[in-house]
Amino acid sequence: MKKNNEERGDCRICGREFDVGPKEEGADYSEALCLCDECLEIVLSRVAAGEDFAGVVFDLKLKQSPFITEDGFLDLSKYPADHLIEDLKKGSKKRKREAGRLLASMASKGNIDAVDPVCEALLNPDLDPDTKEGIIEGLNAPNKKITKALINLLLSLKPSNTTRRLINRIFVTLGKMEDKTAVRPLVEMLNRKKNRYNYRLKAKIVSTLGKIGDESAIDAIADVLKRSKSRTAGVAFGAAAYALYDIYRDKKDVPSDVISELEGLEEHPGLYYILREFRGY
């Protein structure tokens, strides 16, 4: 029974509520231990084995957390997002980048509370490119909502010295995420008239499509291959050849017309080895 002059609190090891001590103005019982038989036995046995008391208590308290795994690692799928969202909005430039990257990692691990803040940040025109780049670096798993945000961000950026790194990072991350919902908008981007002679952009697009590895992109990549045989288009030709290799790498049924497109062009760096793979020897 609780006494009128005692404060109650939660044990920082087992979480049980207990009488922590007398009511006193300014008293802090946040670090109190209930010292029930179970807690006392665990603490004393580990301290007796040579472990530091404070370290033992911290470790035991940590394991009570719902977002710490049994192995003592942070479970990003359950980690709370609220304070990170706040940092992303109002923190210093460094803290914004750190918070954004962690939120992206959480979203990639299936933390649904992190998905919308990541999308909103990517499409926020007032957020600096460095923070956006940090967010994009933290993404590594398919998510339709985030993929759509990345594509929309990509379409909104005009190529320049200040946006080049961000654009490159988006392409790399889309390839790393391997989300097949990115294929259609990337192919549409590839076929836009204004990009007809932008061979460097085409190279980035087809390279990303190759990393995603979806066979629905093969016709578009093969078309770039056919249209990029000139010296000025060499970068797109090479990227298209390697993209086809990425898609067909583990397949035995490489179409003969794809091989014929590459035949006679083995002087291109690396193309000889791709042809060897495609021919099966």
Residues 88-105 have pLDDT tens digits of 999 899 889 999 999 999
Residues 6+ apart with CB under 8 A from 89: none
DSSP state of 217: G
User: How high is the pLDDT of residue 91?
Assistant: 87
Residues 6+ apart with CB under 8 A from 252: 280
- Residue among 249, 237, 238, 188 at smallest CA distance from 213: 249
Rounded Cα–Cα distance for residues 182 and 185 (Å): 6
The two structure tokens encoding residue 273: 């080895």
Rounded Cα–Cα distance for residues 155 and 170 (Å): 11
Rounded Cα–Cα distance for residues 94 and 153 (Å): 22
> How buried is 61 (Cβ within 10 angstroms: 0-12 exposed, 13-18 middle, 19+ buried)?
middle
Nearest 10 degrees: Cα torsion 188, 193, 197, 203: 0
Amino acid at position 223, single letter: D
The two structure tokens encoding residue 25: 């103005």
Residues 5-46: tens digit of each pLDDT: 456 666 655 666 656 555 555 555 555 555 565 665 666 667
User: How high is the pLDDT of residue 265?
Assistant: 57
Q: Is the pTM of this model over 0.95?
A: no
- Counting as low any pLDDT under 70, the low residues of the chain are 1-45, 47, 53, 56-73, 231-232, 250-255, 257-259, 261-281
Nearest 5°: phi and psi at 232?
A: -70, -25
How far is Cα of residue 233 from the mean position of the Cα atoms in its chain? Answer: 32
- Residue matched to tokens 């087992």: 14
Residue 225, number of CB atoms within 10 A of its CB: 22
